[in-house]
Structure 1
Amino acid sequence: MAVHRFSPDQWHNVLAALPAALKVADGDVIITQTIDAAGVDKDGISRTHGPNPMNGPIHVDGAMPGDVLQVDILRISPIRPDGWTRGALAGNVVDPERVRDLPPRDRIEWNIDLDVGTVRLRDDVPGLEHLVLPLEPMIGCFGVAPAGGEAISTATSASNGGNMDYRGFGPGARVWFPVFEPGALFFLGDCHAIQGDGEIVGTGVETAMEVEIRLSVLKNRHQAWPRGETAETIYTLGNARPLDQALQHATTEMFDWLTGDEYGLSAVAASHLMGQLVRYDVGNVFDPAFTMVCHMPKKYLPKSLRPR
């Protein structure tokens, strides 16, 4: 296993089969510094334009269509003492007749205490003068090149991942993406210091981060949508609009996982487990494609029939 320090000199606003910026071996670790969603780096210098410029793509040796790319998020560390959000709820998350009552979507500045690990508003807001939030770093946008030669904007997401903005993509997360192109061609960026479920103001606290990940190839592992696991659950993600279609994708992927080779449950057994034990998280309800996450507790599952 090698460790690579990847310092990009160009960034991308699409996930696509672009020339590789870095080539690594199966199981290698990559340490890289991201810029924020508007293209500003750790020193406050504008490097490119938004939305959500991505580092990459990273070519992983041995990854082929029909395989799975495993992404272990080992560390996410803020490298800038400030971040920003938008100042109002998104119009699509409130009742239509209330949209006119929302405040302007101005850019709001936040301070990030790199030593203590906290986030707070830079300017006092009545009622929030003493608000101090914990630093909860996450990756907002990451994934692989999509199938069929498509180029998918970093403003949205699909079966290849992308701008899912799920707050569970923090340190310690393990995520699996289906591979559609040789080398997988992995991208990442758009990191947040903290974000609520749904990204309902259209941003988290956008900032620059240093991210450490491990990329591994799992051969001949069929899946249609991103999957992942925590210490307690396995989970699947669906990206689509309307929200019920995103839920359908996530639910179908979980059903296929439980009835596939790894767990080998019958359709009846999987239905019983899912019907009583599934929990859903909302990843994103701001972007063109919404994200739903379907969780299943590990403690009720049969022993996995194949190693990960």
Structure 2
Amino acid sequence: MTLHHLRPELFWNTIGSHRPVLTIASGDTVVAETIDAHGFDATGRQRGMRPNPMSGPVFIAGAEPGDCLLVRIGEIRMTSTTGWTYDVLSPTVLDPQAVPRLPERRKTSWLIDAANNRARLAEPPVALAEWSVPIEAMIGCFGVAPDLGQAISTATSGRHGGNMDYRGFRAGTEAMFPVAVPGGLFFLGDVHAQQGDGEIVGTGIETAAEVNFSIEVIKGRKIGWPRGRTAEEIFTIGNARPLDQALQHATTEMLDWITTEHGLDAVAASHVMGQLVRYDVANVFNPAYSVACRMPRSALP
């Protein structure tokens, strides 16, 4: 197993079959620099363009269409002492008659205190003068090149992954992506120091970071949508609009997973899912919404 360092000179605003900047073997580890969603690095220099400039792609030797990439997310380290969000809720999460009550949307700065694992507003409203949030770093956008020669904007998501903004993609999580092109061509970026479910102000706390991850090729494991697992749960992600279609994709992928790999037929799987499934609304801001379907690992054979 080899350790690689990815320090990009070029960042991509699409996930597609771009020329790889790094080739690794299955099982290798990568430490990758990422910049924030508007392209600023840890020094405040703009090195990429919005939306969500990606580091990569990484070519994984031996990965072929029909395989699966297993990405083990290690440490996500904040490299900047600042981040930013927007300051009011997105109109997409409010009743239409409530939208005019909102002030004009503005970009707002945050201070990131990695030593104490807290983030706070740089210029808080009076009511939030002593308020802060814990740092719970996550990867907002990552995935693999889609098929048919597509290059898909990093503003959105699909079967290939992309801008899912699911807070479950954090250190210790294993993510899985369907390989559609030789080498997989893996991209990542858009790290958030914190984000609530749904990304309902249109951002998490956007910042620059360094992400440690490893990638393993699982030969012949064909999956339809991104998957994940933690020590306690497995989950699937559906990406689409409207929201119910994203939920349908996530639920179908979970049904496929536990019937093909856990020995349950459709009836047994339906009983287990019907009582134990939990859903997370991962994102309701992006062009494609994202829903996570979760199951406890203890419930599965």
CA distance in 2, matches of 1:10, 1:123: 33
Shift of 1:24: 0.5
Amino acid paired to 2:224: A
TM-score normalised by L of structure 1: 0.97
Cα pair 1:77 1:211 within 8 Å, conserved: yes
CA distance in 1, matches of 2:154, 2:191: 13
Query: 2:292 aligns to what?
Result: 293
Q: Give matches, 1:244-263, under 5 Å.
A: 244-260=244-260, 262-263=261-262
RMSD of aligned Cα (Å): 0.6
Shift of 1:230: 1.0
Shift of 1:182: 0.3
Task: Give secondary structure in 2 for the equivalent of 1:268.
Answer: helix
Cα pair 1:78 1:114 within 8 Å, conserved: yes
Residue identity (%) = 55
Matched, 1:74 2:54: no
TM-score normalised by L of structure 2: 0.99
Shift of 1:103: 1.9
Q: Give matches, 1:79-228, under 5 Å.
A: 79-228=79-228
Amino acid paired to 2:54: M
Shift of 1:276: 0.5
CA distance in 2, matches of 1:62, 1:100: 54
Query: 1:62 aligns to what?
Result: 62
CA distance in 1, matches of 2:186, 2:48: 19
CA distance in 2, matches of 1:46, 1:163: 20
CA distance in 1, matches of 2:76, 2:103: 32
CA distance in 2, matches of 1:72, 1:47: 27
CA distance in 2, matches of 1:275, 1:144: 31
Task: Give secondary structure in 2 for the equivalent of 1:149.
Answer: coil
Amino acid paired to 1:125: P
Partner deviation per Cα, 1:242-276 (whole Å, 9 max, x = no partner) = 0000000000000011111x112111000000111
Cα pair 1:87 1:103 within 8 Å, conserved: no
CA distance in 2, matches of 1:117, 1:33: 20
CA distance in 2, matches of 1:176, 1:285: 22
Query: 1:280 aligns to what?
Result: 279
CA distance in 2, matches of 1:48, 1:250: 32
Partner deviation per Cα, 1:47-68 (whole Å, 9 max, x = no partner) = 1210000000000000000000
CA distance in 2, matches of 1:132, 1:124: 10
Amino acid paired to 1:282: V
CA distance in 2, matches of 1:124, 1:75: 29
Task: Give secondary structure in 2 for the equivalent of 1:40.
Answer: coil
Task: Give secondary structure in 2 for the equivalent of 1:296.
Answer: strand
CA distance in 2, matches of 1:102, 1:188: 33
Q: Give matches, 1:25-36, under 5 Å.
A: 25-36=25-36
Amino acid paired to 2:275: Q
Cα pair 1:68 1:177 within 8 Å, conserved: yes
Which blocks of at least 5 consecutive residues in structure 1 are unaligned? 303-308
Amino acid paired to 2:219: K
Partner deviation per Cα, 1:201-220 (whole Å, 9 max, x = no partner) = 00000000010000110000
Aligned length: 301
Cα pair 1:65 1:182 within 8 Å, conserved: yes
Amino acid paired to 2:38: A
